[in-house]
A and B are shown apart, each in its own frame.
Chain A
Amino acid sequence: MGYSQRRRVEEQLARELLLALSLLATALIQTALLPRPLGAALNLLLLLTICQALLAGPVSAARWALYGGISLDLCASTALGTHALALLAAVLATQTLGWLNRSNWLLPLLAAPLGTLAYHLVLAAVAAAVVAPIDPRAYALVALVPDLLVTLVAALPTYMTMRALAGRRRGEVPIDVY
């Protein structure tokens, strides 16, 4: 392994570590700091992962899903890998919207419910398999629907912000498709 290649690997590792730490901080904030009006909290990592999947593609978003999921599992004391699997499912679900241009405002509004649905399906399935059987109707009413609504409300502003930041990094001029 040459010097430049080793350095490239080190830089890549540093970037991954920074990403993992950032997502860990996000998980901490989501778990402990975010307000819970009426018992429903914003699933920040799910939202960020969905937006990242739409903006940067599935591979980058899958890394976010893995790091963020493990962080969430550590913060929430759930079985390690549970949230990672759920977030990966959300990433995969958003890939069904690949036919939409990322400049289209509908993209986050469609991806948010789709990703949230996939996320909760996997989360409920893993919880049922690992912890105890759950009542699907009660789970939908208590966990899925509030989470879906909150994510849907926050999807568009989050997506627009992340898209603007990504575009600024690349020197792009945002063009929206109505």
Chain B
Amino acid sequence: MKGTALHTSLPGSGRGLFRGLPPPQPPAVMIRDRRLKIPQSSPYRTPTLLLALVLLALLLLVLDQTGRLGPLRKQAEAVLSPALAGLTRAGDTVSAVGQTLGDADELRAELAALRDENSHLKAENIEAEALRQENARLREQVRIEQEQPWQLLGVAVSAHTPDAGRRVLQLGAGSEQGVQAGMAVIAREGSSPPSLVGVVESVGPHSASVLLITDYSSAVSALVYHAGTPVGGIVQGQWQRGSRLQLQEVPREGTIAAGDLVVTAGLTAALNEELPRAAIPPNVPIGTIETVMLAGRAQAAEMRPFVDPDRVRYVWVILSAGE
């Protein structure tokens, strides 16, 4: 009887505001006065309320299934729909942000995979470019072999010797590939004909050293064609003297002029003791004459090579000149 206790313990009850009023009835008594109310102390109160709520839910279910709550439900859903749509959008945004943050590891892994793939693609691209260049060189080689009676071996230049005293190339092919000392090495640059750049000086199993025609120790027998008439001479390297090539030992009676074509004579083996096995075939282009001068009893001429030997990156070794 809390109510009674509260009422009787109120200070000043029966006086002031409450004076003259009938004493208030305790709530429990008031509830008891109503037949439909269940006293709070009753053990049946909780089960009854639960049962009532369950029945209410069932009633709602039945009414909804029979369509009697249709209009009411539609109105409620019409009110809720905008709120649901807005919250869903907000939820999607939050989820997207969360997913982005959560996917950081996945993105890192994907980035690493993409970098790896990019690296592979770059390598493949380089390989494809190398193959394209090799294809072009092989086509060029075939074309040269069709024009000339030469058997060629295409080789990439692996190094230009940094020794300032000599002009030498290192090739990535040697005796295992059929390269021998004394063989002529030709190259091509731009629209120039395939021209002599040097002679194989020494050979290893898989490498070879090429003495360039611009080196001072290089001497190649040559022919100058002037108006269809051949004139002999020796092409001497002049790099250590500040020039490139010089045509020497041309007889005075021979006529040569600027612009004349100089080709190999095929006699190098007889002229150069250091290259006893020199096997430079005849008629390999070397360059053109720029200026002619008298040198004692003979003539000499400054020459311009068709190919700058210092710039070549790919050469062909003439393995044989099967005439």
Residues of A within 8 A of B (CB): 5, 24, 28-29, 31-36, 57-59, 62-63, 65-66, 69-70, 74-75, 77, 79-82, 84-85, 88, 91-92, 126, 130
Contacts and interface: CB of A to CB of B under 8 A. Distances in A.
Most buried by A among B53, B64, B76: B53
Interface stretch (B81-89, B123-131, B292-300): B81-89
A130 B73 contact: no
Interface stretch (B90-98, B151-159, B189-197, B200-208): B90-98
A29 B87 contact: yes
Which of A36, A75, A81, A130 has the most chain B CB within a 10 Å cutoff? A81
Contacts of A77: 77
Contacts of B59: 81
Contacts of A84: 53, 56-57, 60
A81 B46 contact: no
Interface of B: 30, 45-46, 49-50, 53-54, 56-65, 69, 73, 76-77, 80, 83-84, 87-88, 90-91, 94-95, 98
A80 B61 contact: yes
B85 to A, nearest CB: 8
A85 B57 contact: yes
A58 B73 contact: no
Given A80-B63, A81-B58, A85-B54, A35 B76 contact: no
B61 A81 contact: yes
A35 B96 CA distance: 10
A169 B87 CA distance: 31
Contact of B64 (A57, A62, A80, A92): A80
A31 B30 CA distance: 43
B91 A32 contact: yes
Nearest to A83: B57
Query: What is the predominant secondary structure among interface residues of chain B facing chain A?
Result: helix
B54 A32 contact: no
Contacts of B61: 79-82, 85, 126, 130
Contacts of B87: 28-29, 31-33
B57 A88 contact: yes
Given A74-B80, A81-B59, A130-B61, 10 more contacts: A32-B90, A59-B45, A59-B50, A62-B50, A66-B57, A74-B77, A80-B61, A80-B63, A81-B64, A130-B65
A33 B49 CA distance: 33
Given A66-B57, A75-B80, A84-B57, A91 B50 contact: yes
A35 B95 contact: yes
A66 B80 contact: no
Given A32-B84, A74-B73, A81-B58, A66 B91 contact: no
B27 to A, nearest CB: 9
B131 to A, nearest CB: 48
Given A75-B84, A81-B59, A33 B65 contact: no
Contacts of A91: 50
B302 to A, nearest CB: 84
What 5 A-B pairs have minimum CB-CB distances, sorted nearest first?
A: A81-B61, A81-B60, A32-B87, A80-B64, A84-B57
Given A32-B84, A32-B88, A33-B87, A88 B53 contact: yes
Q: Which of A59, A91, A126 counts the most chain B CB atoms within 10 A?
A: A59
A57 B50 contact: no
A49 to B, nearest CB: 12
A88 B51 CA distance: 10
Contacts of A88: 50, 53-54, 57
B53 A66 contact: yes
A84 B57 CA distance: 6
A3 to B, nearest CB: 12
Given A77-B77, A80-B64, A81-B60, A92 B50 contact: yes
12 contacts: A24-B80, A29-B87, A35-B98, A58-B46, A62-B49, A74-B73, A80-B60, A84-B56, A85-B54, A85-B57, A85-B61, A88-B53
